[in-house]
């Protein structure tokens, strides 16, 4: 038996995500991980149903990623990216440009998914600063309006949909759901953005006639103030694991073109195969002006994200007052992270994920469909390697977490959702263990298991 962790110290001094220090939630000590299993310090093994917050798509201790990181660690673990470049960064950016849609030709390497969103918003704002200096007018302004504005107004606002989640840093929080998002507690310190209702047409269905009406209305009136629209394509993640119609994205792209507004797609959760396509925007066959990537980029082995943009966006930024893009974190382009990402992307490029995700989707559809008959379950949704049981009421995360561990799986519910996003390499038997556990726990939910306190949107 291994020595147990110092849980008392952890509880007294270490702040875990979305928890209270005086009343910390129970934590489970992990000693090691391999494949799709987490091994606890007491020797128990848990099948991981979350891919460690949706990132470890290749499983744990993958030999090719470990080898790449070990080699890089001995050669160059870190070096500043200002005035310096290195092979892992160059190779990674080549791979990202090759695998994403053709207009995306410029890559900014970021520390995390939230920072990728921060960078995307900065890019959009600086782009329009450059356009303003060039004297570009916006469609819909009359000649009298242009004369009245001797200097064209800067587009300084971001437009997005409700039920979205884009990260926990300040600019990212500003485009999270305006009613359930955590930023509501920070008041005027968070930039006020513009919101329209979330897409209502379900994935696979033809677009409802009025689903884009609010988006069109606000763009037609305020396009001269709006720098960009940001949205999670196809799947709204932490805002409710909602899958919406690809036709919505088609219409949104057309509206952005019509009203001269940039389109930012946040593929941090959906990118690299999670929804059944390499990138979720492929369901709609559209291209963004700016693209955010993260999570599975490194296979979940180390933090790294990327923000890609078009030549046009890059040119506009160069014409802004600063003349350069104003962002440069200390660990930007970290060689160790880039090496891990190169290995992860190489695994993705073998295209084994396509059959893996298709098999996961088929099995989850089969094994979860009868959960809709449970009294506590409101809806059952499956798309790609995402399986969701939506409950009628918010759940008690700590209580349900213990039940899942007792069943030998790691599933972390949040809000009113019990969901899994397993590694692509999961076996059918392991996946069945997860789906059985989801239904057993859902069956056990009674009024006492519900969480009466309002919950802010986060990913758990």
Alpha helices in 100-112 (DSSP H): none
CA-wise closest residue to 292 among 323, 322, 262: 262
How far apart are the C-alpha atoms of 340 and 72, rounded to whole Å? 9
φ, ψ of residue 110 in degrees (nearest 5):
-120, 165
Residue 228: half-sphere exposure toward Cβ, Cα within 13 Å = 27
Q: Can you tell me the distance from the alpha carbon of 299 to that of 337, in angstroms, rounded to the nearest whole number?
A: 10
Is the Cβ–Cβ distance between 27 and 33 less than 8 Å? no
Q: Among 320, 420, 442, 304, which residue's Cα sits nearest to residue 370? A: 442
Residues with active-site annotation: 18, 165, 266, 295
- Nearest one of 380, 458, 460, 372 to 172, comparing CA atoms: 458
Q: Which residues of 190-219 are buried (b: 16+ CB within 10 A; e: fewer)?
A: beebbbbebbebebeeebeeebbeebbebb
């Amino acid at each position: 038996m291994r020595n147990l962790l110092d849980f008392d110290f952890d509880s007294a001094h270490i702040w875990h995500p979305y928890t209270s220090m005086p009343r910390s939630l129970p934590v489970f000590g992990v000693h090691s991980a391999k494949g799709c299993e987490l091994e606890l310090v007491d020797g128990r093994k848990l099948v991981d149903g979350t891919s460690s917050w949706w990132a470890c798509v290749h499983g744990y201790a993958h030999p090719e990623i470990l080898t790449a990181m070990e080699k890089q660690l001995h050669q160059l673990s870190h070096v500043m990216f200002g005035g310096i470049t290195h092979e892992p960064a160059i190779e990674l950016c080549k791979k990202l440009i090759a695998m994403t849609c053709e207009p995306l030709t410029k890559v900014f390497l970021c520390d995390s998914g939230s920072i990728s969103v921060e960078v995307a918003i900065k890019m959009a704002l600086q782009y329009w600063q450059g356009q303003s200096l060039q004297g570009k007018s916006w469609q819909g302004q009359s000649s009298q309006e242009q004369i009245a504005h001797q200097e064209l107004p800067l587009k300084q606002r971001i437009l997005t949909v409700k039920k979205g989640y884009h990260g926990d840093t300040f600019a990212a929080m500003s485009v999270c759901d305006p009613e359930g998002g955590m930023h509501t507690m920070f008041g005027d310190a968070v930039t006020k953005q513009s919101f329209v209702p979330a897409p209502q047409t379900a994935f696979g269905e033809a677009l409802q006639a009025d689903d884009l009406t609010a988006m069109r209305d606000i763009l037609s009136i305020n396009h001269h103030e709006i720098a960009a629209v940001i949205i999670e394509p196809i799947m709204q993640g932490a805002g409710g694991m909602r899958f919406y119609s690809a036709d919505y994205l088609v219409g949104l792209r057309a509206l952005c073109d019509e009203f001269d507004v940039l389109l930012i797609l946040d593929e941090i959760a959906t990118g690299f195969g999670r929804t059944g396509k390499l990138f979720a925007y492929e369901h709609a066959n559209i291209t963004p002006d700016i693209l955010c990537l993260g999570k599975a980029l490194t296979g979940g082995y180390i933090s790294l994200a990327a923000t890609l943009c078009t030549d046009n966006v890059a040119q506009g930024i160069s014409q802004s007052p600063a003349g350069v893009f104003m962002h440069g974190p200390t660990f930007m382009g970290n060689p160790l992270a880039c090496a891990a990402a190169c290995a992860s992307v190489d695994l993705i490029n073998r295209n084994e994920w396509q059959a893996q995700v298709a098999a996961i989707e088929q099995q989850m559809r089969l094994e979860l469909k009868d959960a809709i008959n449970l009294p506590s379950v409101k809806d059952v949704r499956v798309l790609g390697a995402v399986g969701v049981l939506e409950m009628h009421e918010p759940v008690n995360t700590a209580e349900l977490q213990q039940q899942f561990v007792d069943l030998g799986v790691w599933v972390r519910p949040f809000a009113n959702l019990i969901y899994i996003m397993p590694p692509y390499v999961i076996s059918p038997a392991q996946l069945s263990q997860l789906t059985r556990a989801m239904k057993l726990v859902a069956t056990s939910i009674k009024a006492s298991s519900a969480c009466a306190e309002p919950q802010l949107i986060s990913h758990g």
